[in-house]
Structure 1
Amino acid sequence: MATFHRARSAEQRAERRQSILRTAAGMLDEMPVAAVSLNELSRRVGLSKSAMALYFESREEVLLALLTEAAGRYRAETADTFPQWADPSAPAAVRARQVAARLAATFAAHSMLCELLSAQHAILEHNISVDVATRYKRASRDAIRWLGEQLREPLPELDDERALRAAHMVVILVGALWTRSRPAPSLLAAFRADPSLAFMHPAFTEAFEAAIATFLTGLIAQAADAT
């Protein structure tokens, strides 16, 4: 456990925040989001809970900051690749499936992002101030707008409004299907014991790819009908 002295400068404060975030990220390698407590986090970084409040108002704010950082890494790693996600000469429905496959693969490669998205509405958006909520939701809005813009590269049939809807659905489906693909041990045992329950335990990549491909294909058809 590290022992810190109070940060005096803006640079020291920023470094302290990053130390807290790195520690929280390490905890997520060991446990689910719901098990990350402010008590344990403060113990690991060597700060009292009252001292932690100088940097983050709650463990939810810490985890939302981690989510924002994880989303930033996803954007940085995929930003230049979207034009190559689909064969431009292929029919729209084929390109939708190709894009869906790439979305599934790239999100699956960012497990912390998926884990945090799965806890976003039920856990992370509670116990936060209006200031934190506003800051986070604005960052979320900008990330969704960015993804919508990227999706229009391989899928030019989507107008701005439909691309934004597609991007928002990507985020929703990642969170929902990541949770369902990682059930509690008792549920996992039940699924193994009764094959008729297997469809309730989807593999994340396959389930997400199928769901978002269907959604994208529907939006493309809708756009064609509107012209």
Structure 2
Amino acid sequence: MTTFHRARSEEQRAVRRQSILDTAAGMLDEMPVAAVSLNELSRRVGLSKSAMSLYFESREAVLLGLLTEAAARYRDEVAETIAGWVDRSAPAPARARQVAARLAATFAAHPMLCELLSVQHVILEHNISVEVATGYKRSSRDAFHWLAARLGDLLPELDDERALRAAHMVIILVGALWIRSRPAPSLLAAFQADASLAFMHPAFTEAFEAAIGTFLQGLVAETAEAT
């Protein structure tokens, strides 16, 4: 544990905030999101809970900040390669499947992002002020539009509205399938003991690729029917 003195400049406050986020990220390597407590986080950072409130109003606000950072890292990484995700001479259904495969692989490579997305509605978006909620949702809005623009470039058959629907569904499916692919130990044992239950324990990458691939192909077909 590191003991900090009071941050007096904006630069010092930024360093302190980043230290808190980095410490929370380290805790997620050891435990599920639900087990991350403000008490333990403040102990590891070396600040009292009252001092922590100068930087984040709650545990959930810390984790939302971590989610925002993780999403930004994902976008920065993907931005370097996404233009080459598809064979642009291929028909739209084939490109939709190519996009689905790359989305599945890239999200699977960012487990903390997927973990946080899987609990954002049931855990992270509670116990926060309107100010924090507004800031987070505006950041999410911009991220949706960024992904929609990239999907529209890879699948120009989609209009703006359908590209945005596709981006939204990507995030919904990441969260839903990530948490379903990581059941509690008792459920995992049940799945392993009874083969008839195996379909209820999907592998994240395969399930996400199939689901978003089907959704993208459906949007392409829907657009074609509308024109």
Q: Deviations over 1:61-111 (max 9, x none)?
A: 000000000000001001132221111111111110000000000000011
Q: Deviations over 1:163-206 (max 9, x none)?
A: 00000000000000000000000000000000000000000000
The answer to whether structure 1 residue 156 and structure 2 residue 148 are counterparts is no
Q: Contact 1:118 / 1:175 at 8 angstroms: preserved in 2?
A: yes
Matching residue of 2:140: 140
Q: Contact 1:82 / 1:153 at 8 angstroms: preserved in 2?
A: no
The answer to whether structure 1 residue 207 and structure 2 residue 227 are counterparts is no
How do 1:1-227 and structure 2 match up within 5 A? 1-227=1-227
Q: Deviations over 1:22-74 (max 9, x none)?
A: 00000000001111000000000011111100000000000000000000000
Residue 154 of structure 2 aligns to a residue whose secondary structure is coil
Shift of 1:152: 1.2
What amino acid sits opposite 2:190 in the alignment? Answer: A
What amino acid sits opposite 1:140 in the alignment? Answer: S
Identify which range, 79-88 or 92-101, moves more after superposition: 79-88
Query: 2:218 & 2:73 partners in 1: Cα distance?
Result: 29
Query: 1:173 & 1:184 partners in 2: Cα distance?
Result: 19
Query: 1:101 & 1:3 partners in 2: Cα distance?
Result: 46
Residue 186 of structure 1 aligns to a residue whose secondary structure is helix
Residue 90 of structure 1 aligns to a residue whose secondary structure is coil
Q: Contact 1:64 / 1:124 at 8 angstroms: preserved in 2?
A: yes
Q: Contact 1:20 / 1:45 at 8 angstroms: preserved in 2?
A: yes
Query: 1:208 & 1:136 partners in 2: Cα distance?
Result: 25
What amino acid sits opposite 2:218 in the alignment? Answer: G
Residue 152 of structure 1 aligns to a residue whose secondary structure is helix
Q: Contact 1:180 / 1:202 at 8 angstroms: preserved in 2?
A: yes
Gaps of 5+ in 1: none
- TM-score when normalising by structure 1: 0.99
What amino acid sits opposite 1:119 in the alignment? Answer: V
Identify which range, 31-40 or 78-87, moves more after superposition: 78-87
Query: 1:81 & 1:149 partners in 2: Cα distance?
Result: 15
Shift of 1:156: 0.6
Query: 1:88 & 1:101 partners in 2: Cα distance?
Result: 15
What amino acid sits opposite 1:89 in the alignment? Answer: S
What amino acid sits opposite 2:28 in the alignment? Answer: L
What amino acid sits opposite 1:165 in the alignment? Answer: R
Query: 2:197 & 2:122 partners in 1: Cα distance?
Result: 25
How many residue pairs match? The answer is: 227
Shift of 1:18: 0.3
